[in-house]
Amino acid sequence: MTIPTSSIEQVIPGQGAMAQPSAKPAKAKRQRFLFVRNTKAATGLVVLGVYVLLAIIGPWIAPYDPSGRSNDLVQGPSAAHWFGTTHLGQDIFSQILVGTRSVMYVGFLAGLIATTLSVLIGVTAGYLGGKTDDSLSALTNVILVIPAIPLMIIITSVLNNASDTLIAVVIGLTSWSWNARVLRAQTLSLRRRDFVEASRASGETTWRIVIFELLPNLTAVIASGLVGTVIYAVLSEITLAFIGITSNDGWNWGTILFWAQGQQALGQHAWWWFVPAGLAIACLGTALSLINFGIDEFVSPRLRSAGKTKLKTAAGHTVRMRIGFTPVLENSAAPHTHARVISTPVMREAK
């Protein structure tokens, strides 16, 4: 008795499809610009780009001279003065535009100085070890326990009319120690890896191993340290200007807050005198923090996938996961059958 092929396929599903050649799997496309695809990182970069643009063209597009006086004393926001005026009739919007350059310059210059020192000292100490590690670690610990803000106050108060470059150098020289310790710890974990041992066994020089083997694996940590140092440098410069340590001849956001506090802007209900500067500081700090969070998620896959409630199967279907259930992919024995997603409850310990 001959059984039709269709009957066999009905009794044993999938056998007829097995005889046919399976479709070639599509080649996975290489994803580029993964860091920019992160929403936090993209938002932070856009906001930071706006600040950099204002730092470059701010003094050119300022509608008034930030130090110029007028008869509009302590006036609120208007069409003529978008952010209001001070007790001398100075335009606050122009002061913020002009002061952006000083803040960005000091922040990034101090961040570059501190990051360069932390890389040189931290990576060198972690890779060479021995007495070199002990000496550099002792230097790092000494700088780490010294209170940075009081030291900066002493240095800048001794030097009258300290320039932005000098302030950035002082901040950079006093804020590298923490990142150096982090890089030293990361270097210690990498120095005995197989790829480093292979490079050492092949006769590679020390500087070549450090530059071409270690630093590429420390790029994310270095970038995160740079962003964190820039935030610290910006806040440090604004703090020094707010308490009147630095020269008040130039303009930055801390100088605006210094004059607002000195002239009792809060008592005069002149909220426009200090709120725009405070919002500018907050937005810049938020942008840099978002970039830092994006770097953390880019480096750590666990942080990258945290909070996601959707799962894409091999067939391309998107399945929403329920809270309290763990998704499990179950592949069928038949090649043509799509993978199924089963939600299984998570076992929790009884309280």
pLDDT level of residue 33 (50, 70, 90 thresholds):
low
Residue 331 has pLDDT above 80, yes or no: no
- Dig out the tokens for 81 from the structure: 């003065």
Q: What is the mean pLDDT of the segment spanning 133-151? A: 88
Residue 22 has pLDDT above 90, yes or no: no
Residue among 258, 250, 223 at smallest CA distance from 111: 223
- Dig out the tokens for 109 from the structure: 């210059």
Residue 116 has pLDDT above 80, yes or no: yes
Bridge partner residues of 319 (DSSP): 311
Query: How many Cβ atoms sit within 10 Å of the Cβ of residue 199?
Result: 17
pLDDT level of residue 266 (50, 70, 90 thresholds):
confident
* CB-CB contact of 321 with 342 (8 Å): no
Distance separating alpha carbons of residues 101 and 97, to the nearest angstrom? 8
Residue 123 has pLDDT above 60, yes or no: yes
222 or 329: which carries more pLDDT confidence? 222
Distance separating alpha carbons of residues 163 and 237, to the nearest angstrom? 11
User: Could you read off the pLDDT of 149-193 as tens digits, one per residue?
Assistant: 888 888 777 776 678 888 899 899 988 999 999 999 999 988 888
Predicted TM-score of the model (pTM): 0.74
Domains of the chain: 34-304 (1.10.3720.10), 309-351 (no CATH)
Query: To the nearest whole number, what is the mean pLDDT of the chain?
Result: 79
User: Which H or E run contains 202?
Assistant: none
* pLDDT computed for residue 325 by the predictor: 45
Burial class of 49 by CB neighbour count within 10 A (0 to 12, 13 to 18, 19+): exposed
